[in-house]
Amino acid sequence: MRGAPRRRNSRDRGRRDARPAARPEIIVRRPLRNGRLLAWLVLQQAEHCDLFLQDLMADCDSECEMSSADRALAVDLSYGVMKRRRTLDHLIASRLQRPRSQTEPELWQILRLGTLQLLVGRVPAHAAVHTSVELCRELGQDRWTGFVNGILRNIHRLFSEEEATGPSSTTLPISAGRWIRLNEPLLTDPLQNRAEWFGQCFSLPSFLAERWAARFSIDDLVRLGFAASDAPVSSLRVNLLRTTREEVLQLLQGASLKAEPGHLPCSIRLQRTIRPDQIPGFSEGLWSIQDEAAMSAAILLNPQPGERILDLCAAPGGKTAHLAELSGDQAEIFACDISERRLAMIGSTTGRLQLRSVSTQLISADGTDIPPGPFDAILTDVPCSNTGVLGRRPEARWRADEESLEELIRIQTRLLLQAVERVRPGGRIVYSTCSMEPEENEGVVRSVMSVLKDWSVSSPQQHLPGQPADGACQILLTRNS
């Protein structure tokens, strides 16, 4: 999915507005030299804007003087808190003797960071408490230190050393299928209220938890929950016009990077996330970062040399470049988007990959100036709720509600209608999202096809998160000759 509306959940706004107006004066010194401080700052900024964490982190990079390890720590902590916010808040609130509204949001953010470290256990408990207390001092709030120390120590006492194996009111997920046992039944019993338990346990808003609990078994919910909580798998799409998968694997092995062949002939799965410019072959255009589910969209469209192809919502350009590669860079590809800045990203990507068959076009939000066609093939990768990629875009879970879903469906329907108007007889469309919500997938296609007579529709190509890649849905529509 590309270009989803960035909007704040109105229920979240109401909770923030209910807090006291008074705020401590906090001055964050620059340059930033501490990963925990950077994570705190980015999370605080995210509370008051609709930018993604990766954008906020990039904006702060010019103000940082820290090691790559500290920068990685900041990413892990900020993404971890954003993913597990509901669970962390539930744990913290259980140890408080006062309403949350009487705790400053800036202080609450420190408690979230400390609780996350206690939960995932990547540092010893005493270090998680100590670094959280020190963060108070770095922010010039010595008066918070005793409170933070006491709350985090009480939270640590909740965690048992006894092994846990699955869902209950006394177990919490850590990562990769592992669970931790609680010394108190703090969660709803999953047998009594599956949706409430799922939302508390895997940190999802009630809107999504209730929808998924109505469709999936507990075993499936657990798999989906871990996929939404764990760090996503990183995959490379090999540019087969310039190299082979075997050659790229050898390059990675020579750089001591662990990797293995992916599930698709062009894919490689990395064992850990690493900055693209630190992977050999980046500047030479030998590969692109792309999830295997996303690769499936261009493969399903099956672009051919000599075809006129429209990528309707193209930025940032990963699928566009894949279309060019699959067609041997011999098609005529029109890549459209409503953002000039994001269109520039397409040019940067295709330039690095040495692809020449792509031209870009800025279009208006209503799509009235989309190239008229006719086209042999159109990729319609529409804005969506991102519910298939919550592990990669953690903010998306907190932006999902009934109002935003209805707005997205209207946009998706309009875009698909604009696509079908531009396909020649015998041509085809791939309708693509990274959503798991049926209304955004089969629902939109069914609605559009109900008013058309000369189209055939294939079965949805549904990818569930973590099996083995991101969640996505792709549907092939073919116009009869």
- pLDDT of 105-139, one tens digit each? 999 999 999 999 999 988 999 999 999 999 999 99
User: Does one domain contain both 122 and 103?
Assistant: yes
Which pTM value belongs to this model?
Answer: 0.90
The amino acid sitting at 45 is Q
Distance (Å, rounded) from C-alpha 417 to C-alpha 410? Answer: 11
Q: What is the pLDDT of residue 10?
A: 38
Task: Give, in order, the Cα–Cα distances in Å from 56 to each of 22, 48, 50, 114, 333.
Answer: 25, 12, 10, 21, 32
Domain boundary at 262, 290, 318, which? 290
Residue 452 belongs to a domain: yes
Q: Which two tokens stand for residue 407?
A: 């707005």
Same domain, 269 and 209: no
Whether 378 and 474 share a structural domain: yes
Question: How many domains does the chain divide into?
Answer: 4
Q: State whether 318 and 423 are in the same domain.
A: yes
Is the peptide bond between 280 and the residue preceding it cis, with omega within 30 degrees of 0? no
Q: Which of 42, 49, 54, 47 is nearest to 389 (CA)?
A: 54
**What was the pLDDT predicted at 362?**
95
Q: Are 60 and 102 in contact (CB under 8 A)?
A: no
- Do 122 and 43 lie in one domain? The reply is yes
Contact 477, 380 (CB under 8 A): no
CB of 395 closer than 8 Å to CB of 81: no
The answer on 245 and 201 residing in a single domain is no
* Domain containing residue 31: CATH number: 1.10.940.10
Q: Is residue 295 part of a domain?
A: no
Q: Are residues 5 and 18 in the same domain?
A: no
Domain of 282: which CATH number?
3.30.70.1170
The answer to whether residue 335 is domain-embedded is yes
Q: Would you say residue 187 lies in a domain?
A: yes
Name the nearest CA neighbour of 222 among 187, 177, 266.
Answer: 177
Specify if 27 maps to a domain. yes
Inside any domain, residue 145? yes
> Which residue reads 């597990």 in tokens?
84
> In degrees rounded to 5, what are phi and psi of residue 386?
65, 20
Last residue of a domain, one of 123, 151, 171: 171
Question: In this structure, are 166 and 63 located in the same domain?
Answer: yes
Choice among 64, 313, 336, 434 that is catalytic = 434
Which burial class, exposed, middle or buried, applies to 229 when counting CB atoms under 10 A from its CB (0-12, 13-18, 19+)?
buried
Residue 162 phi/psi, 5-degree rounding, is -70, 140
C-alpha dist (Å) from residue 435 to 287, 294, 313, 451: 26, 12, 16, 24
| pLDDT value of position 29 | 75
Q: What pLDDT does residue 155 have?
A: 98
Are 212 and 79 within one domain?
no
User: Phi/psi of residue 453, each to 5°?
Assistant: -115, -20
Same domain, 131 and 210: no
Comparing C-alpha atoms, which of 122, 233, 211 is closest to residue 467?
233
Same domain, 80 and 219: no
Which residues of the chain, if any, have pLDDT below 70? 1-25
Residue whose C-alpha is closest to residue 75's, from 93, 54, 51: 54
346, part of any domain: yes
In this structure, the strands spanning 455-457 and 358-362 are unpaired
**Domain edge (last residue) among 249, 266, 290:** 290
Question: Do residues 71 and 136 both lie within one domain?
Answer: yes
Cα dihedral across residues 188, 190, 193, 199: positive or negative: positive
Query: Which residues span the domain enclosing 243?
Result: 234-290
Note the pLDDT of residue 25: 66
CB 431 within 8 A of CB 416: yes
416 in any annotated domain: yes
Residues 404, 434: contact at Cβ < 8 Å? no
Verify whether residue 64 is a known catalytic residue.
no
- Give the total residue count for the chain: 481
Could you tell me if 308 and 323 are in contact, meaning their C-beta atoms sit under 8 angstroms apart?
no
- 79 sits in the region (left: phi over 0; alpha: psi -120 to 50; else beta) called alpha
Report the distance separating Cα 281 and Cα 279, nearest Å. 6
Confidence (pLDDT) at 5: 46
Here the CATH number for the domain that contains residue 392 is: 3.40.50.150
Q: Which three-class secondary structure string do you get for the chain?
A: CCCCCCCCCHHHHHHHHCCCCCCCCCCCCCCECCHHHHHHHHHHHHCCCCCCHHHHHHHHHHHECCCHHHHHHHHHHHHHHHHCHHHHHHHHHHHCCCCHHHCCHHHHHHHHHHHHHHHHCCCCHHHHHHHHHHHHHHCCCHHHHHHHHHHHHHHHHHEEEEEECCCCCCEEECCCCCEEEECCCCCCCCCCCHHHHHHHHHCCCHHHHHHHHHHCCHHHHHHHHHHHHCCCCEEEEECCCCCCHHHHHHHHHHCCCCEEECCCCCEEEECCCCCHHHCCCCCCCCEEECCHHHHHHHHHHCCCCCCEEEECCCCCCHHHHHHHHHCCCCCEEEEEECCHHHHHHHHHHHHHCCCCCEEEEECCCCCCCCCCCCEEEEEEECCCCCCCCCCCCHHHHHHCCHHHHHHHHHHHHHHHHHHHCCEEEEEEEEEEECCCCHHHCHHHHHHHHCCCCCEEECCCEEECCCCCCCCEEEEEEEECC
